[in-house]
Amino acid sequence: MRTYAEGVYHFVIAFGGSCFASKTLFSFFEMELWGRELTNDIKKCQKCIKKFMVDIGFGQVKQYNSYMPKCSHNSMDYNFTTLSIFGYTIKKRIMQGEAMQEITNYNEFIDALEKAGFSMSGDNSEGIFTLCDQFGEAIAWHTEQPETDPWLWRMRVLKEQSDIAYGKLFFGKGGFITAKWFPYFYAVRRGNKDLEQEYRKGTISASARRIYTLLKEERELPVHRIKELLGFGKGKEERPLFDAAIVELQMKLYILPFGEERKIAKSGEPYGWPAMVYGLTENFFEQTVIEEAEKLSFENAYSQIDKQILLLNPQAKENKRKKFILGE
């Protein structure tokens, strides 16, 4: 019986073509037989199918009624059709050298993120995409191990990578966007919009406007300094307004996290938990990223992101894709 790796290798060329390693030609008929063999091998179990799809870069599969026997684990039916609907997409990605392998450390995460272009930062894909689906057993949250703790990777990205943005970018939750794809999101969410004009239209809150105006003057500030300078107290009413405004500005791509900073005591010693530092989006990336965004039309940028989402997750629903792209 073939290994999973060999199965991927054979399956991706199920629609014909030549293997990039050996130049061997394979027919669709051969691949259909292999698809049935693979289906039997992994016992048509939803969990097994999902593992296979995760191994080659997808976390979800479609369910079909079929002529194949039912899985004894959950009575789900799977046949080769289930796999073949992903065939063209997977073939394209692997033939281009873009298949997503299991992630076992920080550097592999960065490589996978560069290939994907964007991702939710947590293990909830929100019906779109998260690289957490590719995490291997070595990856564990909140262990304080820089190479294998995804919680630490958020700040490592900001400190060590100049071409990846992190922040509350999707559904009000954490996510990553690479410099390659950031112009597309910028063109869709901001375009030529001016914050003052948006404020007068009522699409930007007063709290968000105050924070943005301050950051235009100061460039970068930690959260506690923003609160101090703008007079945001710790009251039950003001804190939610401040937190919501910070997320609002990130989702609309007016500001981004630049890193973390601790408070400084009178003695000059840092103390307390690190606080997020924010600055204007225009000061985060090189100017070329913003200039590239200005060349894109809303329609073209939206279309390109939508296509990439479907490449990463062919099952992503249209309404979810729309919210993801527009930052709703």
Handedness of CA 312, 318, 320, 322 (dihedral sign): positive
Band (pLDDT 50/70/90 cuts) for residue 210 is very high
- Residue 271: its pLDDT value, please? 79
Residue 143 has pLDDT above 70, yes or no: yes
* Span 260-282, pLDDT tens digits: 888 888 887 887 888 899 999 99
Contact partners, residue 195, CB within 8 Å, separation at least 6: 204, 209, 212, 254
> Phi, psi at residue 269, to the nearest 5°?
-90, 140
Residue 78 pLDDT > 50? no
- Per DSSP, the three-state class of 188 is helix
Lowest mean pLDDT among 72-81, 95-104, 157-166, 214-223: 72-81
Specify the higher pLDDT residue, 256 or 65: 256
pLDDT at residue 209, rounded to an integer: 94
* Residue 68 clears pLDDT 70, i.e. is over it: no
| pLDDT at site 49 | 52
- Grade residue 7 by pLDDT with cuts at 50, 70 and 90: very low
pTM (global) more than 0.85:
no
pLDDT for the residue 219: 86
Q: Is the pLDDT of residue 8 over 80?
A: no
| Residue 270, helix vs strand vs coil | strand
Q: Is 112 exposed, middle or buried (0-12, 13-18, 19+ CB in 10 A)?
A: buried
Residue 27: per-residue pLDDT: 38
pLDDT tens for 224-263 read: 999 989 888 666 677 888 999 999 999 999 999 998 888 8
Residue 169, C-beta contacts closer than 8 angstroms, at least 6 positions apart: 175, 176, 177, 185, 250, 251, 253, 327
- Report which of residues 283 and 59 the model is more confident about: 283
Contacts of 272 (CB under 8 A, 6+ apart): 262, 263
| The pLDDT of residue 253 | 95
DSSP state of 161: -
In whole angstroms, what is the distance from residue 176 CA to residue 77 CA? 35
In this structure, which long-range contacts are made by residues 250-253, counting pairs with CB atoms below 8 Å and at least 24 apart in sequence? 250/167, 250/168, 250/169, 251/168, 251/169, 251/172, 251/189, 251/327, 252/189, 252/190, 252/204, 252/327, 253/169, 253/185, 253/186, 253/189, 253/190, 253/281, 253/327
Residue type (1 letter), 14: A
Looking at residue 51, its pLDDT comes to 52
Neighbours of 169 (CB within 10 A): 27
| Separation of alpha carbons 80 and 96, rounded Å | 24
Candidates 194, 195, 183, 178; CA nearest to 300 is 183
256 with 276: CB under 8 angstroms?
no
Supply the pLDDT for residue 111: 93
Q: What is the pLDDT of residue 206?
A: 93
Residue type for position 302? Y
Q: Describe the crossing of helices 223-230 and 206-218 by its angle, rounded to 10 degrees.
A: 110
Task: Please state, in angstroms and rounded to a whole number, the distance separating the CA atoms of residues 19 and 86.
Answer: 18
What's the pLDDT score for residue 151?
Answer: 94
Phi-psi region of 80 (alpha: psi -120 to 50; beta: other; left: phi over 0): alpha
To the nearest whole percent, how much of the chain has pLDDT over 90?
Answer: 51
**pLDDT for position 48:** 53
- Least reliable range by pLDDT among 144-153, 181-190, 212-221, 263-272: 263-272
Is 9 a residue whose pLDDT tops 90?
no
193 class by beta-carbon count within 10 Å (0-12 exposed, 13-18 middle, 19+ buried): middle
Q: How high is the pLDDT of residue 318?
A: 93
| Alpha carbons within 13 A on the beta-carbon side of 215 | 29
How confident is the model at residue 208, as a pLDDT? 94
- Distance of alpha carbon 199 from alpha carbon 205, whole angstroms: 7
**Quick check: 126 and 120 in contact, CB under 8 A?**
yes
pLDDT at 62 > cutoff 80: no
Residue 234 pLDDT: 66
